[in-house]
C-alpha cells in the first residue's frame, strides 16, 4: 500500500526515533509499504518518520544506477549492487570515512528543493535486517550518501540542516515559499473534500 509522505515542517520529522528491539509482522508490513511508497514517488530512500512512525527503520533502493558505487561489501564479501536492492534496515550504527565530497540531495518530505551537501564519501554501517540478522555493509557513492541521509532522518536531522552556511540563506528562503505553497495546496484539497 502506498502511504502518504509527511512533509516538512511536520514535528515527526524532528523525532529521535526509537530502536526496534524485535522485528514484528507490523514492521514487515510497514517495510513493504515503505518500499512501495518510495518507488511510487521515484525516491532512492525513505525513513519511517517520513510516514509518521518514530522507529529506527528505513529503506533504500539505488538499483536504477548500477554504476553509482565503486564497491559494495556485505559482511566482508564483494556483492552485486542490483541484486542486493532494496535494502530494509533497522537500528543502524554508522562509521564514516575521512574523505568528504559535495553532492546534490533532495528529500521526499521536501519536494522540489535540491541542495548540495558535503558528506563523507565512504561508510561502514551495521544494521539489523527484516530477518533479525546483523549485517555490516561497506560502500561509497550514492549508496553511502543515501544511508547517511536516511540515518539522519532517524535522528531528526534533515539535509537542509547540513547545507553550507553560504547556501543556507537561499535554501531557507525557497523553503519558506514552498511551505506556504503546500499549505495552500492542502487547503484547496480539504475544501474540495468538504
Ligand atoms: Zn529525506
Per-residue pLDDT of the chain (194 residues; tens, 9 = 90+): 999 999 999 999 999 999 999 999 999 999 999 999 999 999 999 999 999 999 999 999 999 998 999 999 999 999 999 999 999 999 999 999 999 999 999 999 999 999 999 999 999 999 999 999 999 999 999 999 999 999 999 999 999 999 999 999 999 999 999 999 999 999 999 999 88
Cα-to-centroid distance, 46 and ligand 1 (Å): 6
Cα-to-centroid distance, 80 and ligand 1 (Å): 25
Residues that are catalytic: 150
Cα-to-centroid distance, 43 and ligand 1 (Å): 9
Q: Are 144 and 69 in contact (CB under 8 A)?
A: yes
- Predicted model pTM: 0.96
Cα-to-centroid distance, 125 and ligand 1 (Å): 18
Neighbours of ion ligand 1 (CB under 5 A): 107
What is the 8-class DSSP label of residue 17? P
- Alpha-carbon distance 73 to 70, whole Å? 10
- Give the list of residues 6+ apart from residue 103 with CB closer than 8 angstroms, or none: 116, 117, 119, 142, 145
- Alpha-carbon distance 190 to 180, whole Å? 15
Would you give the end-to-end CA distance of the chain in angstroms?
25
Amino acid at each position: 500500500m502506498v502511504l502518504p509522505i509527511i512533509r516538512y515542517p511536520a514535528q515527526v520529522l524532528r523525532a529521535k526515533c526509537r530502536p526496534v528491539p524485535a522485528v514484528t509482522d507490523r514492521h514487515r508490513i510497514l517495510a513493504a509499504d515503505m518500499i512501495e511508497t518510495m518507488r511510487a514517488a521515484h525516491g532512492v530512500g525513505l525513513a519511517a518518520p517520513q510516514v509518521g512512525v518514530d522507529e529506527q527503520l528505513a529503506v533504500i533502493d539505488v538499483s536504477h544506477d548500477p554504476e553509482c558505487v565503486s564497491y559494495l561489501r556485505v559482511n566482508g564479501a564483494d556483492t552485486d549492487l542490483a541484486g542486493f536492492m532494496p535494502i530494509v534496515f533497522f537500528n543502524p550504527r554508522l562509521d564514516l570515512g575521512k574523505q568528504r565530497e559535495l553532492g546534490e540531495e533532495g528529500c521526499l518530505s521536501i519536494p522540489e528543493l535540491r541542495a548540495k551537501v558535503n558528506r563523507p564519501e565512504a561508510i561502514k554501517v551495521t544494521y539489523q535486517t527484516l530477518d533479525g540478522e546483523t549485517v555490516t555493509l561497506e560502500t561509497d557513492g550514492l549508496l553511502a550518501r543515501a544511508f547517511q541521509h536516511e540515518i539522519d532522518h532517524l535522528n531528526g536531522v534533515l539535509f537542509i540542516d547540513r547545507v553550507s552556511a553560504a547556501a543556507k540563506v537561499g535554501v531557507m528562503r525557497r523553503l519558506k515559499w514552498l511551505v506556504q505553497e503546500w499549505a495552500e495546496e492542502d487547503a484547496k484539497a480539504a475544501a474540495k473534500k468538504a
